[in-house]
Structure 1
Amino acid sequence: MRDRIVEAASHEIRRRGLRFTMGDLAKRLGMSTKTLYGVFPSKDELIAEILNKAIAELQHKEKEILNNADLGTLDKLKKCLILIPADFQFIEMQLITELQRYYPSQWDQLDQFLNKQWDSITELFHEGINQGLLRSFNTKIFIDLYVGGFYRLIEDSAAPKSSITLHEGLRDMGEILLSGIIKKEG
């Protein structure tokens, strides 16, 4: 039942953002709100469960990428920098803004994950430097730029004109950070 509720709530989030109500969700599931609240005592707990699953999925995908012997260091790095949970692949950045504004505890959880999950990426950086694929650079500054860029994408998403998805934003940002903006000659 718990998984069924999480799946339905994820669908509602993709459809309506975080503005769905527990009553809407109960109706979608064909159950009473009392039953729903028996499983998830609050919408906050439901959102936290969805976020926990998303973070676990990211960690699993990262591990798969890192253990894939068919991928080179640079390919692993590129793939890891644009990892997004499958359910959130095409969401608009506005959803992250809603999470930040209306669900501060869950936002803190995501914020901590964003700032502390860099060990594997740092190892890839060092591997790339040792292989001569990357020039030596300050990895902490790269991470700060990436996280800061992510936060900026969130801020920009609050503007009515923004229509970029999370995937598009991370892809473009990762490409710029890894390749730079200087046009290659030849």
Structure 2
Amino acid sequence: MKKEKEIRERILEVSRELFFKFGFSRVSMDELAEKLGMSKKTIYFYFPSKKMLIDEMVNQMLARVGVGVEGIVNDRKMDFIEKPRRLLGFIGMQMAMVSPDFIIDLRKRVPDVWKRIDEFRREKILMNFGKLYQEGVKRGVFRSDVNQEFLVRMYANTVQSTLNPDVFSELPVSPADAFSSVLKVFFEGILTDRARVRISRAMTIPKKKEIKTKEKDK
């Protein structure tokens, strides 16, 4: 039983590596079998079709992203001012794993899977963004003079446009860089002046002269 689970996970791991990089339409089952060092028969025993393999990959990806986002938003020990940056970094890292070819394949060849991703984005990502914004307003980190429903809808439309293959295929940046830039501009736009100063100070790297002066004072 343990061995079967290990083989299944190994197939998923190598499939992610190839599919995320090249898109699944450009990777044949023969190429996957060669990379794995096993027969196609073995692969089909665990995943009777490439579609089932893609379904499982996406399920794992969404579960990982969901746990990561909720972990950041609900972390009571983390300094709240750090949460937007952590969220930005985490989602950017997840996006960096996926190539434009993979996203294009999902949208064009398996629309039901793409729809599931879109629903996840609305239900999980946007729900947690709304929760983060509400807490930020209470803490004086985010501005309170912006309608929350409008803000969340604007965020949703911006993210959806960024992930649209027709949009990012025309941009000289990767989906990950585009998404990170969008989030950075978006979060900075809703910060209060006080919070913006705090973040600016936190991100300032001391100059060498300042460091030497501090060392002499010790």
Q: Do the structures match in fold with TM over 0.5?
A: yes
Report what 1:158 is aligned to: 169
Report what 2:210 is aligned to: none
Partner of 1:180, secondary structure, is helix
Q: Deviations over 1:11-37 (max 9, x none)?
A: 112332222122211121122212211
Report what 1:33 is aligned to: 40
* Counterpart Cα distance in 2 of 1:95 and 1:147: 21
Aligned counterpart in structure 2 of residue 55 of structure 1, from 62, 68, 73: 62
Q: CA RMSD in A?
A: 2.5
Aligned counterpart in structure 2 of residue 180 of structure 1, from 175, 189, 193: 189
The alignment status of 1:15 with 2:24, answered yes or no, reads no
Rg (Cα) greater in structure: 2
Structure 1 residue 86: Cα displacement: 5.5
Structure 1 residue 96: Cα displacement: 1.6
Asked if 1 retains the 8 angstrom alpha-carbon contact of 2:65 and 2:94, the reply is no
Q: CA 1:151–1:66 in 2, change beyond 3 Å: closer, same or farther?
A: closer
The alignment status of 1:4 with 2:15, answered yes or no, reads no
Structure 1 residue 79: Cα displacement: 2.7
4+ aligned runs moved over 6 Å, structure 1: none
Structure 1 or 2: more helix by fraction: 2
Report what 1:92 is aligned to: 99
Normalising by structure 1, report the TM-score. Answer: 0.83
Structure 1 residue 53: Cα displacement: 0.8
Structure 1 residue 121: Cα displacement: 2.2
Aligned partner of 1:3: which letter? E
Moved more, 18-27 or 143-152: 143-152
Partner of 2:98, secondary structure, is coil
What are the ranges of 5 or more consecutive residues in structure 2 without an aligned counterpart? 1-6, 198-218
